[in-house]
């Protein structure tokens, strides 16, 4: 069905505060952005893969690994720039410059490396099966949440004086930022990646880690160099 067509959009701006040229820093021999490109290319549902960027180096690397490039204007590339306007710009750019009609967007943030092809395809299957308008991936860390207000702290969603076993506690869904699937009409109407009929897709707890700092980079690199890469079947980009 035409309405079931999916494209992947990977937002990868050039600027980064702590890690210079973060999106093309190499992890296990490949640029960070290449992992999202490769896993999207291997999906049996995703038709095209696009990288939205303002960086010439990122554009060059993205093309090298098989993605199409969307040139992002400077006003969408600052530290304060939000993803939603970037996706809306990408949709218009794709339809105008690549002449491809957009129906469903799979948003993959490049700093989320700990995902595999099964995550992508199973999330899309769930999106289709539930006839959803949007989907976000999550982890359930069985977190006991507290909120601080001035000098006091208060428990959220549970009673610390009546602690329950983990298996009967209500799930606390934490967005891990790895996968978002959204119909174009939701972006156009709500200017948001989630809206309408929302569903969610569970991922392994370690997928919550993203590369945002130098310590994150060291940690993710260590994980990717360990057996977790093989066990979780993380897609390795082809040598370029």
Helix (H) and strand (E) counts in the chain: 7, 11
Tokens of 20: 């210079």
> How far is the C-alpha of 151 from the C-alpha of 15, rounded, in Å?
36
Which domains can be identified in the chain, with CATH numbers? 2-231 (3.90.550.10)
Residue-wise pLDDT tens for the chain (240 aa)? 445 799 999 999 998 878 999 999 999 999 999 999 999 999 999 999 999 999 999 999 999 999 999 999 999 988 888 999 999 999 999 999 999 999 999 999 999 999 999 999 999 999 999 999 999 999 998 778 899 999 999 998 788 888 888 777 778 899 999 999 999 999 999 999 999 999 999 999 999 999 999 999 999 999 998 888 888 999 989 866
> How far is the C-alpha of 4 from the C-alpha of 103, rounded, in Å?
7
> How far is the C-alpha of 236 from the C-alpha of 240, rounded, in Å?
12
Distance between first and last Cα of the chain: 34
> How far is the C-alpha of 214 from the C-alpha of 116, rounded, in Å?
23
Name the residue among 228, 225, 231, 227 with its Cα closest to residue 30.
225
Q: What is the pTM of this model?
A: 0.93
- The residue with tokens 């209500």 is 170
């Amino acid at each position: 069905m035409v309405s079931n067509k999916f494209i992947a959009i990977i937002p990868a701006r050039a600027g980064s505060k702590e890690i210079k040229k973060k999106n093309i820093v190499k992890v296990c021999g490949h640029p960070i952005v290449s992992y999202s490109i490769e896993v999207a290319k291997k999906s049996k549902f995703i038709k095209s893969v696009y990288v939205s960027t303002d960086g010439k180096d990122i554009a060059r690397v993205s093309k090298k690994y098989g993605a199409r490039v969307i040139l992002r204007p400077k006003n969408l590339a600052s530290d304060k720039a939000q993803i939603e306007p970037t996706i809306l710009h990408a949709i218009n750019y794709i339809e105008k410059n690549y002449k491809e009609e957009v129906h469903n967007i799979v948003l993959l943030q490049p700093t989320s490396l700990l995902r595999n092809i099964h995550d992508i395809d199973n999330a899309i299957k769930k999106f289709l099966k539930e006839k959803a308008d949007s989907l976000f991936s999550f982890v359930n860390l069985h977190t006991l949440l507290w909120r601080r207000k001035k000098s006091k702290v208060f428990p959220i969603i549970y009673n610390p004086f009546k602690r329950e076993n983990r298996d009967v506690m209500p799930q606390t869904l934490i967005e891990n930022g790895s996968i978002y699937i959204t119909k174009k009409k939701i972006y156009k109407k709500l200017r948001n990646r989630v809206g309408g009929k929302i569903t969610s897709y569970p991922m392994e707890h370690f997928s919550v880690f993203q590369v945002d700092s130098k310590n994150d980079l060291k940690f993710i690199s260590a994980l990717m160099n360990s057996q977790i890469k093989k066990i979780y079947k993380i897609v390795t980009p082809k040598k370029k």
